[in-house]
Chains A and B, each alone.
Chain A
Amino acid sequence: MSVLIFADQFEGHIKKSSYEALSYGAKLAEMMGTSAEGLVLGTIKDDLSSLGKYGVNKIHHVNDASLDHLDAQQYAAVIADAVKQLQATVVVFSNNLSGKAVAPRLSARLKAGLVAGAVALPDLSNGFVVKKNVFSGKAFAQIAVKTDIKIVALNPNSYSITMVDGTAAINNLTISAGSPRVKITATNKVSGAVPLGEAELVISGGRGLKGPENWGLVEDLANLIGAATACSRAVADAHWRPHHEHVGQTGLAIAPNLYFAIGISGAIQHLAGVNRSKVIVVVNKDPEAPFFKAADYGIVGDAFEVMPKVIEAVRKLKGK
């Protein structure tokens, strides 16, 4: 019996969303009175024993270069073997883009119930019941997992990373990986930028900004505080900004600590992607803009007058 946490990597580095999954899994193991162990696939550049600081006792490493790139089929087969070998009873994933590819496959392979998009630790008082997001962030469902092995995919930014003193023991696990059936031919990373899905701070612009030439207002603030940039669908559709920045019901759903919306009306489909943000700030010249109902802080005013002053004040605060 153990909680096995899949710690996902990109180019040899463990992703931040996996630190959340490790912290979550460690806490869950404590609640269940069992051990928390990580599972890492592929060639790694990071020091894996340092993952102990997220509360895991052990890291199982399948150090096989044929697992350097994600092939959901191959990953699910290897993880399933690890689950059996290690007799894990709970498997935790981050519900990031890799988790979404692999966790469902593992669920079907092991016939183990999956809660995808968990936002809190399970309630163990009556079985194994996990709270998850439904209706695109407009509600939650409590889902009971009925199988012996349980799989939880934790939404990014919904569980805080906790750190302890400790190092993890490394166990090299040998599992035949087979060969991938998916051949990766190119990887195009948007360099330098904070990936939107993982960002803690997000500055976002809407049609109220009038045109792409005014995005300096969004970018300057983002650069000052190390935030990612986002936009409404109307903006992405107008090709003012790249599509991967589009948040909302049909774009990316995010849950940063700060979502700062400039010139966005706050249509229900937009809110669906951002309403799990911890603090929402809205700058809009229309006091009736629906976004104010979902906001924590706001300024009713013209972005072109307000934002330069906001940026200046932040610059002063940051001493830049």
Chain B
Amino acid sequence: MKILVCISKTPDTTAKIAFTDNNTKFATDGVQWIINPYDEWYALVRALELKEKDPATVLHLVTVGSADTEPIIRKALALGGDEAIRVNADSHDSYYIAAQIAEIARQGQYDLVFTGKETIDYNGSSIGGMVAELLDMPFISLAVKFELAGTTATVTREIEGGEEVAEVNLPMVVSCQKGVAEARIPNMRGIMAARTKPLKVVDPAAAETLTEIVSFTLPPAKAGVKLVPADNPEELVRLLHEEAKII
């Protein structure tokens, strides 16, 4: 069994969101970078669990990013995994990134490719589906449960107002969200081991970009809260009915 987990680098959830260069670039000054939570907490941890159950499993991590993503991928390796691959490219076009991941997956002949549900900065929720298409593999999006018996996976995915259970034969691509696994904290042994694990850097494959970010904008600031006294909650209901016309 060979598993590939896609790891991306995102700003910390509390990072201040601001833009520079005429609102064309995210202002990275003072920003703390983390492993995208969905990749770390769910995709990676579920892959680690599969490897713990079957130690013969080969588990590789891949990230598409410039050299400054290395601390993040090392951090991911501290949780587990045998080696990491960094595709040395910097792009925000989902198709371009997916093409790089698909190339790595093709070369490595992985049985399973895990991604997170979405990146918390670009919120595409797109790369898993694109990789699956490029590899001509089945894709289950937004999995909340993933079980494996031999080469058949039983995957539960979220649907509107419920869940759907599907059986799929490997190889396949799965995007993971809450429910698939429980987040872990790296331990000292993992952190030490990560230092010596191989981190391969490869050049990007030729691929097009289909989209381009023109600019960023911030939402307009709220006008401010209208407070209703606690001893007159009826007034709140009146405002919601007559002013906001919402109930």
Q: Please give the residue numbers on chain A whose beta carbons come within 8 Å of chain B beta carbons, in ascending order.
A: 10, 15, 17, 69, 71-73, 76, 95-98, 100-109, 111-117, 129, 131-147, 181-190, 193-198, 201, 225, 243-244, 246, 249-251, 253, 257-258, 268-269, 272, 275, 278-279, 281-282, 292-302, 305-307, 309-310, 313-314, 317
Contact = CB atoms under 8 A, between A and B. Distances in A.
Given A105-B132, A111-B208, A111-B210, A183 B233 contact: no
A313 B164 contact: no
A104 B17 contact: no
B233 A310 contact: yes
B121 A186 contact: no
B237 interface: yes
B190 interface: no
Given A115-B211, A185-B154, 12 more contacts: A72-B138, A100-B142, A108-B134, A132-B123, A139-B217, A189-B162, A197-B161, A244-B163, A279-B240, A292-B225, A298-B227, A313-B237
Interface string B211-247: 1111111110011011111100110111111001011
B21 interface: no
A107 B130 contact: yes
Which residue among B125, B134, B222, B226 has the maximum number of chain A CB atoms within 10 Å of its CB?
A: B125
Given A104-B128, A182-B140, A258-B247, A282 B216 contact: no
B75 interface: no
Given A73-B139, A195-B160, A314 B247 contact: yes
Q: Which 5 pairs show the lowest CB-CB distances between chains A and B?
A: A301-B230, A104-B129, A195-B161, A113-B210, A108-B133
Interface of B: 11, 13-14, 17, 19, 37-38, 41, 94-95, 98, 120-134, 136-142, 144, 154, 157-169, 178-179, 208-219, 222-223, 225-230, 233-234, 236-241, 244, 246-247
A148 to B, nearest CB: 10
Contacts of A135: 11, 17, 120-121, 123
Given A101-B129, A145-B211, A146-B210, A293 B222 contact: yes
B37 A250 contact: yes
Grouping DSSP codes into helix (H, G, I), strand (E, B) and loop, the A interface class, with mixed when no group exceeds half, is mixed
Contact of B125 (A112, A116, A225, A301): A116
Given A104-B126, A317-B237, A181 B210 contact: no
A297 B124 contact: no
A250 B214 CA distance: 27
Contact of B123 (A73, A117, A131): A117
B130 A275 contact: no
Nearest to A106: B133
